[in-house]
Structure 1
Amino acid sequence: MKKISILLGILISVGVSLIVNADSKVDELKVVASIRDEALKSELAYDILESLTTEVGHRMAGTPQDALAVKWAVDKFKKLGFDKVWTEPVTFKTWVRKAESAEVTAPYQHSLKVTALGFSIPTSKQGLEAEVVHFRTLEDLIASPQNSAQGKIVFISRKMQRFRSGKGYGPAVKARGNGAVQAALKGAVAVVIRSIGTDSHRLPHTGMMHYKKGVTKIPAAAISNPDADLLVRIFERKKTVKMKLQLNSHDGPEYTSQNVIAEMTGSVWPNEKVVIGGHLDSWDLGTGAVDDGAGVAITMAAAKLIGKSQYRPKRTIRVVLWANEEQGLVGAKAYAKKHKEDLANHVTGAESDFGAGKIYAFASNVAENNLPVVKKMAKLMKPLGIEYIDNQSGPGPDLIPMYQLGMSVFSLRQDGTDYFDLHHTADDTLDKVDPESLAQNVAAYVVFAYVAANSEQKISR
Structure 2
Amino acid sequence: MQYHINKTLTFFLLLTFSATTFATQQNPTPAQVKALQQQALNSDLSYQLVESLTVEIGPRLPGTVADIKTVEWSEKQLKRLGFDKVYREPVTIPVWKRGDAKASITAPFPQNIVVTALGGSVATPKEGIEAEIVRFDSIEQVEQASAAEIEGKIVFIDPITERHRTGKGYGKVVGARSKGAVESAKKGAVAVVIRSIGTDSDRFAHTGMMRYADDVVRIPAAAMSVPDAELVNAMLKRDLPVKIKLHMTPAHKGEGTSYNVIGEITGSQYPDEIVLLGAHHDSWDEGTGALDDGAGMGIVMATGAIIKKSGIQPKRTLRVVLYAAEEIGLIGAKAYVEAHKAELDKHKFALESDFGAGYIWRFDTRVNDSALPAMQKIADALAPLGIERGHNEASGGPDVSMLPNYGVPVVSLQQDGSDYFDYHHTPNDTLDKIDPVKMKQNTAAWVTFAILAAAVDTPLRPIPPKE
Tell me the TM-score normalised to structure 2 length: 0.93
Match of 2:59 in 1: 58
Match of 1:314 in 2: 315
CA contact (8 A) 1:17 1:310 kept: no
Q: Distance in 1 between matches of 2:292 and 2:128?
A: 31
Match of 2:302 in 1: 301
Q: Deviations over 1:29-62 (max 9, x none)?
A: 1111111111111100000010000111000100
1:144, CA displacement in angstroms? 1.4
Match of 1:181 in 2: 182
Q: Distance in 2 between matches of 1:30 and 1:458?
A: 25
1:154, CA displacement in angstroms? 0.6
Q: Distance in 2 between matches of 1:458 and 1:140?
A: 47
Match of 2:154 in 1: 153
Q: Distance in 1 between matches of 2:460 and 2:76?
A: 32
1:445, CA displacement in angstroms? 0.6
Q: Distance in 2 between matches of 1:84 and 1:28?
A: 26
1:458, CA displacement in angstroms? 4.7
CA contact (8 A) 2:130 2:243 kept: yes
Task: Return the letter of the residue paired with 2:81.
Answer: L
Worse-matched range after superposition: 134-143 or 67-76: 134-143
Q: Distance in 1 between matches of 2:205 and 2:372?
A: 43
1:94, CA displacement in angstroms? 1.1
Q: Distance in 2 between matches of 1:56 and 1:17?
A: 40
Q: Distance in 2 between matches of 1:234 and 1:96?
A: 33
1:209-288 maps to which residues of 2 (within 5 A)? Answer: 209-288=210-289
Q: Determine helix, strand or coil for the equivalent of 1:49.
A: helix
Unmatched segments (≥5 aa) in structure 2: 1-16
1:447, CA displacement in angstroms? 1.3
Match of 2:167 in 1: 166
Match of 1:5 in 2: none
Q: Distance in 2 between matches of 1:234 and 1:318?
A: 54
CA contact (8 A) 1:119 1:209 kept: yes
Task: Return the letter of the residue paired with 2:279.
Answer: G
1:279-358 maps to which residues of 2 (within 5 A)? Answer: 279-358=280-359
Q: Determine helix, strand or coil for the equivalent of 2:149.
A: coil
CA contact (8 A) 2:22 2:32 kept: no
Task: Return the letter of the residue paired with 1:449.
Answer: A
Q: Determine helix, strand or coil for the equivalent of 1:148.
A: helix
With over 3 angstroms needed to count, the CA separation of the structure-2 counterparts of 1:459 and 1:30, relative to structure 1, is: farther
Q: Distance in 1 between matches of 2:382 and 2:50?
A: 24
Q: Distance in 1 between matches of 2:329 and 2:227?
A: 28
CA contact (8 A) 1:20 1:266 kept: no
1:339, CA displacement in angstroms? 0.4
Q: Distance in 2 between matches of 1:313 and 1:19?
A: 12
Task: Return the letter of the residue paired with 2:453.
Answer: A
Task: Return the letter of the residue paired with 1:30.
Answer: A
Match of 2:3 in 1: none
With over 3 angstroms needed to count, the CA separation of the structure-2 counterparts of 1:174 and 1:194, relative to structure 1, is: same
Q: Distance in 2 between matches of 1:216 and 1:22?
A: 61
Q: Distance in 2 between matches of 1:20 and 1:103?
A: 66
Q: Determine helix, strand or coil for the equivalent of 2:199.
A: coil
Match of 1:426 in 2: 427
Q: 1:365 and 2:366 equivalent?
A: yes
CA contact (8 A) 2:264 2:318 kept: yes
CA contact (8 A) 2:395 2:410 kept: yes
**Which structure has the bigger radius of gyration?**
1
Q: Distance in 2 between matches of 1:321 and 1:315?
A: 19
Q: Determine helix, strand or coil for the equivalent of 2:271.
A: strand
Match of 2:4 in 1: none
1:391, CA displacement in angstroms? 1.4
Match of 2:116 in 1: 115
CA contact (8 A) 1:21 1:314 kept: no
1:323, CA displacement in angstroms? 0.2
CA contact (8 A) 1:18 1:312 kept: no
1:459, CA displacement in angstroms? 3.6
CA contact (8 A) 1:87 1:260 kept: yes
Worse-matched range after superposition: 391-400 or 256-265: 391-400
CA contact (8 A) 2:61 2:67 kept: yes
Q: Deviations over 1:420-461 (max 9, x none)?
A: 000000000000000000110101111111111012335433
CA contact (8 A) 2:362 2:414 kept: yes
Task: Return the letter of the residue paired with 1:74.
Answer: E
CA contact (8 A) 1:199 1:421 kept: yes
Identity %: 49
Which 4+ runs in 1 deviate beyond 6 A? Answer: 14-20
CA contact (8 A) 2:364 2:392 kept: yes
Match of 2:6 in 1: none
Unmatched segments (≥5 aa) in structure 1: 1-13
CA contact (8 A) 1:115 1:221 kept: yes
Match of 1:22 in 2: 25
Tell me the TM-score normalised to structure 1 length: 0.94
Q: Determine helix, strand or coil for the equivalent of 1:353.
A: coil
1:230, CA displacement in angstroms? 0.3
Q: Determine helix, strand or coil for the equivalent of 1:90.
A: strand
Count of residues paired in the alignment: 446
1:281, CA displacement in angstroms? 0.2
